[in-house]
Structure 1
Amino acid sequence: MKVILVDDERLALIGLQKLLEKEVSGIQIVASYMNPTEVTAGVLLHRPDVVFLDIHMPEIDGMDLGRQIQKAVPGTEIIFVTSYDQYAVHAFELQALDYVMKPVQKERLNQTLQRVREKLALRREQRMMNTEVPLICCFNQISFKLPGKEPQVAKWRTSKAQELFAYLLHHRNQVIYRGALLDLLWPGAEEEKTAHQLYTTMYHVRQTLKTCGMDMISIHSAHLEAGYKLVLGDALLDSEQWEREMKAWREVKPETVEAYEQAVYRYKGTYLGRYDYMWAEPERERLRYLWLYHMRQLNLHYLKQGQKDRAVENIQQIQQMLPDDEESYFMLMKLYDEMDHKLGVEEQYRLLTSRMEQELGIPISEEVQQWYNDWKRGITKAGQHTR
């Protein structure tokens, strides 16, 4: 969430900035202004999600400045901060998102920011549903979503055309030389015999994009067709958007957990997971671990709040996505033990041994085996018998 702060009082400006930076995750303060005449230019430059704006300033009325901001960058949320409550009605007439009294209190600020997050999350959902710009979906399989339409899976002329597009998309904005593409699609074949096939396959890729209404995606030929570069144009990539959103979060808090969940759950599956492209595996693994990190952050929050059922659901989702993740089985075994769910412990141990030893051919870790043996004997961590 990008934020701009405006207040002609230096101490008030510094105080609000410190409160935001200390208490709130996912906040980026891109600018702060004491001079209101600089604000409109700053909003145009930084395109913030929200502006915290003092109403009572000597050079310009905060209400008028709020109107200027909304006119300059429609959709910018305004939160008025003031010592005078008589402006409240006028603030909401301006469609300000909220109205906060000075001195700003931590609890009140969290309530306000939760409203901001909910509104921004709703706006993102609407963009994803209505797709104001074309969207390229890369989770699980490649599909295209045009504004106001449902996603469509492209019908590629050949599997070579599909992989060629996927590879260029994966390396977007980079020149990929012809020799590398020939080795990718026709390994071991002589260049003279496959150069024309590459040209034909590239033609089919361009035609498929045109048929799908995605001709804003351009594939440029390098000098003498020595290589090709794919440029997205106005289109967005869902995996890229998701990663950018997740990296903006620092921690989970009770007032932000719902928005955090919505962001994490936009991970719809493995990156290009429907395709057996070995060159995509490093990116798959990188995004999987980013998702896993945030799922575990959610899990820690649920356990801290005593929400064991939510924690169980969370870990089960991890298992569905990553069935070979030993830690998820071990976490559930210990959690089921705390919940006195003996059958659950046994089931998780059976599933783990089945997948690790039978399917992967590797033993489970000594730590898990020792814990399970102690549990069977009814020994607690303190070494006391419980059964």
Structure 2
Amino acid sequence: MLRVMIVEDERPILGLMELLVGRHPMLEAVGAYTSPLIALERFGELKPDAVFLDVEMPRLGGIELAEKLKAMDEEVQIVFTTAYPNYAVEAFRVSAVDYLLKPVTPDALERVAARLAKNQALRSAIRSAPVPGERAPVRCLGTFETRGLDGQLMSWPTRKTEELFAYLIAYPDRLAGKWQLADLLWPEMDEERALHNVHNTVYRLKKALKEAGLAVDVTHTNEGYRMQTPKGFSDLERLRDVKGRLAAISDERDAAEATEAFGSYAGELFGGKDYPWSVGVAAEAASHHGALARMLAAWHREQGGGLDAAKEVLRAYLGLAPLDEEMNAALLRLYADGGEAGMFRRHYEGYSKLLADELGIAPAAELRELAARLSL
């Protein structure tokens, strides 16, 4: 049973949505509001699996509300309701599952409910997939947090201590030259003072790790420092490890491992912290995420009845990399091959608008031709 919140400023339509949702065997209405502000207030308490949002609402529109809800719970599924059939790109930007045209019919709700249930099932599978060892103490993908032996979040003594740790996590078991670290962390400072800061910051780092009970060895040579960590210490290391070992998925075990690594990528490396030296590592991690998405989508397509899972993998990937031409094309082909003209149209329109807005270009000729054949 999926817990659903409904937000609609027109009371008669809200009543109709409550009635339709209440009659559906897979859905349970846990809250219905004409005020988006009250809905936002109650969201954390109710913890719905999905939210049906009107697009046009006073004081706080559906798109803006969706962004706020996603910030509170990135896994909540958003479905928009609208009277405008040409609307698409805004839903595309906030990774909406679908949208319903008013007046909403039982058949349309049935289609959306089936999609919501499939998405929920796949996410449950991702969360319960076998993990190689315990949860990584360090999460770098989409955030940057480190937990001590007691499971509590570490608080770093200084920002430079945290940045030094990030650098050593990005380049583990590799000698980091002391002058290199001085130049990376204090580029504006004279060399002697910068080197003094390196020594002090390494001391603080070792002390913080020891107090947190983490089995990390930071060793010193005349040339610099090296950090050695236990296997599986960070989600970045696990992502690199899985991608390095899997050129393709050949069985269920590979698929489970790839699914876990793929699901661990929740966004930009270190949560987008402004570390100039991390640009190359961030690109590497994003590339690994895309490679796993391609492998998983191919694996699910090859399995009988795996097309919905393949589409969910592609949608999850595009939620983080919406301009990826290859993956957008793959998803659109799956919609076209499955006869999902409505989903094709909505995604194509959103993708086209995004390309025009961000890059000033149109979709590839192959996709334009496919859209023309589907009478878009």
Determine which of 290, 308, 312 is the counterpart of 2:288: 290
What RMSD in Å do the two structures reach over aligned CA positions? 3.3
Task: State how far apart, in whole Å, the 2-side matches of 1:146 and 1:155 are.
Answer: 10
Aligned residues: 248
Task: State how far apart, in whole Å, the 2-side matches of 1:296 and 1:316 are.
Answer: 12
Task: Name the residue aligned to 2:35.
Answer: none
Secondary structure of 2:270's counterpart equals: coil
Once the two structures are superposed, what CA deviation does each residue of 1:267-319 show, in whole Å capped at 9, x if it has no partner?
Answer: 33344344232322322322332332232222223323243222221210111
Task: Name the residue aligned to 1:385.
Answer: none
Matched to 1:183, the amino acid is D
Once the two structures are superposed, what CA deviation does each residue of 1:78-130 show, in whole Å capped at 9, x if it has no partner?
Answer: xxxxxxxxxxxxxxxxxxxxxxxxxxxxxxxxxxxxxxxxxxx999648315x
Task: State how far apart, in whole Å, the 1-side matches of 2:205 and 2:176 are.
Answer: 15
Task: Name the residue aligned to 2:312.
Answer: 313
Task: State how far apart, in whole Å, the 2-side matches of 1:254 and 1:221 are.
Answer: 43
Structure showing greater Rg: 1
Task: Name the residue aligned to 1:102.
Answer: none
Distance change >3 Å, CA 176–CA 308, structure 1 → 2: closer
Task: Name the residue aligned to 1:240.
Answer: 237
- Contact in 2 for aligned 1:137/1:144 (Cα 8 Å): yes
Matched to 1:158, the amino acid is T
Task: State how far apart, in whole Å, the 1-side matches of 2:334 and 2:217 are.
Answer: 51
Following TM superposition, by how much is the alpha carbon of 1:247 offset from its aligned partner in structure 2, in angstroms? 3.9
Following TM superposition, by how much is the alpha carbon of 1:235 offset from its aligned partner in structure 2, in angstroms? 7.4
Distance change >3 Å, CA 143–CA 316, structure 1 → 2: same
Task: State how far apart, in whole Å, the 2-side matches of 1:207 and 1:217 are.
Answer: 11
List 4+ stretches of structure 1 deviating above 6 A. Answer: none
| TM-score, normalised relative to structure 1 | 0.55
Task: State how far apart, in whole Å, the 2-side matches of 1:191 and 1:252 are.
Answer: 49
Task: Name the residue aligned to 2:145.
Answer: 143
Following TM superposition, by how much is the alpha carbon of 1:146 offset from its aligned partner in structure 2, in angstroms? 5.0
Structure 1 residues 252-261 or 356-365, which shifts more?
252-261
Once the two structures are superposed, what CA deviation does each residue of 1:324-368 show, in whole Å capped at 9, x if it has no partner?
Answer: 212222222222223332221222122212322213444433333
- Contact in 2 for aligned 1:136/1:235 (Cα 8 Å): no
Provide structure 1 residue ranges, at least 5 long, that are not aligned to the other structure. 1-120, 378-387
Task: State how far apart, in whole Å, the 2-side matches of 1:255 and 1:193 are.
Answer: 55
Task: Name the residue aligned to 2:322.
Answer: 323
Following TM superposition, by how much is the alpha carbon of 1:251 offset from its aligned partner in structure 2, in angstroms? 4.1
Residue 222 (1) aligns with residue 224 (2): no
Structure 1 residues 234-243 or 320-329, which shifts more?
234-243
By relative contact order (CA 8 Å, sep 6+), the higher-ranking structure is: 2
Following TM superposition, by how much is the alpha carbon of 1:254 offset from its aligned partner in structure 2, in angstroms? 6.4
Structure 1 residues 227-236 or 291-300, which shifts more?
227-236
- Contact in 2 for aligned 1:217/1:235 (Cα 8 Å): no
Identity %: 22
Residue 353 (1) aligns with residue 352 (2): yes
| TM-score, normalised relative to structure 2 | 0.56
Task: Name the residue aligned to 2:277.
Answer: 279
Distance change >3 Å, CA 266–CA 376, structure 1 → 2: closer
- Contact in 2 for aligned 1:246/1:263 (Cα 8 Å): no
Provide structure 2 residue ranges, at least 5 long, that are not aligned to the other structure. 1-126
Determine which of 127, 135, 138 is the counterpart of 2:133: 127
Task: State how far apart, in whole Å, the 1-side matches of 2:232 and 2:262 are.
Answer: 22
Distance change >3 Å, CA 346–CA 122, structure 1 → 2: closer
Matched to 1:259, the amino acid is A
